[in-house]
Amino acid sequence: MNISSTEKLFTIFNETALVLQEELDCSFLEALAETGENLFQASILQEELSELTLKRLKKQYEEIDLEKYSNEDIRKAFQLVILKGMKENVQPNHQMTPDSVGMLIAYLVERFIKIPSFRLLDPAVGTGNLLMTILNHVHKEIAAVGVEIDDLLIKLAYVNANLQEHPVQFFNQDSLEPLFIESVDAVVADLPIGFYPNDIRAADYQLKAKEGHSYSHHLFIEQSVRHTKPGGYLFFLIPNGLFESPQAGQLHEFLKEEVIIQGLMQLPNSMFRDKNDAKSILVVQKKGEEVKPPKQALLVNLPSLSNRQEMDKILVNIEKWFQENKG
């Protein structure tokens, strides 16, 4: 039986992480970050390992030549091992953007952004899977920036980028604190949903709650718009109830003032275990002197992404919309 490239890489990532997990007495995901760094540096960085473990790891690492694998092979394998680790140690903020959604956002980024090179920010970069999907599929020169508060997630994102040789600039901080970065041409974000606990920091935002905690996803939208150049595009993965929440009125007013809504694509409910968790892709453009609204926004209810025939019809309609509205 032929083993795919992704399966080969998965096996090496998984088996060497298990060895390091036991030897270093750490979590599987921490061990995965270590083994990824070892593979990238082509050397074993953990000096405290036993001689037997060192020999075992060296032998396994020698079986893999990363240069023989595509970035997508590496990304998919690394993603699968991360997912395995997340199942073993479930945390609410440790969730990954599904591959099919990442590919769809990459397609939208490619179609909306006309310039050959641009700066891209992911303010909720997590393990970097969404950002890496875009870097692998958008055929333009991208200077990428990722921000993540979780130490372990950003370490995995950093290793993920290194293994694929993407020169991403990472910041390990609360994305809602001041970001000392140059303005970007585009933002992609799988928005973290929930309440932001820092009311003092939230007070600096127009979208702060009038009472109690503010919605973190609202503040992420405002922060993203702040750091986007006029005319820049923002691609958000949003909950379907975004405009129905108690604070939705403020958000609606903010968007009306600051951006033009280009499109809203509702993902199929079948993608989500609970329909209350269903999401959509919101595409907006920051207002600027030469920015004109489309004749009509791109509004799409997506069928099951595995339904090739229906998806082909939808993509034809989307391409028609681009021709009519984006020249």
> Where are the chain's structural domains?
5-88, 99-325
Task: Report the alpha-carbon distance of residue 46 to residue 35 in Å, rounded.
Answer: 10
pLDDT on residue 90? 56
**CA 150/CA 142 separation, integer angstroms:** 24
Provide the pLDDT for residue 1.
Answer: 47
Residue 93 has pLDDT above 60, yes or no: no
Q: Which CATH architecture has domain 99-325?
A: 3-Layer(aba) Sandwich (3.40)
Rg (CA), the chain: 21
Q: Indicate if the alpha-carbon torsion angle 161, 96, 138, 257 is positive or negative.
A: negative
On the question of pLDDT at 121 being above 90, the answer is yes
Spell out the alpha helix ranges (H) of the chain: 5-24, 28-41, 51-62, 71-88, 99-112, 129-137, 151-163, 199-202, 216-226, 248-258, 308-325
C-alpha distances in angstroms, 158 versus 94, 125, 132, 148?
16, 10, 11, 11
pTM: 0.95
Q: How confident is the model at residue 155 (pLDDT cuts 50, 70, 90)?
A: very high
Cα 183 to Cα 167: distance, rounded to the nearest angstrom: 18
Output the pLDDT for position 248: 93
Q: Give the H or E element holding residue 42.
A: none
- Would you say residue 246 has pLDDT above 80? yes
What does the pLDDT look like over 27-81, one tens digit per residue?
A: 999 999 999 999 999 999 998 999 999 999 999 999 999 999 999 999 999 999 9
Q: Which CATH class is domain 5-88?
A: mainly alpha
Query: How far, CA to CA in Å, does 196 sit from each of 30, 36, 181?
Result: 26, 32, 22
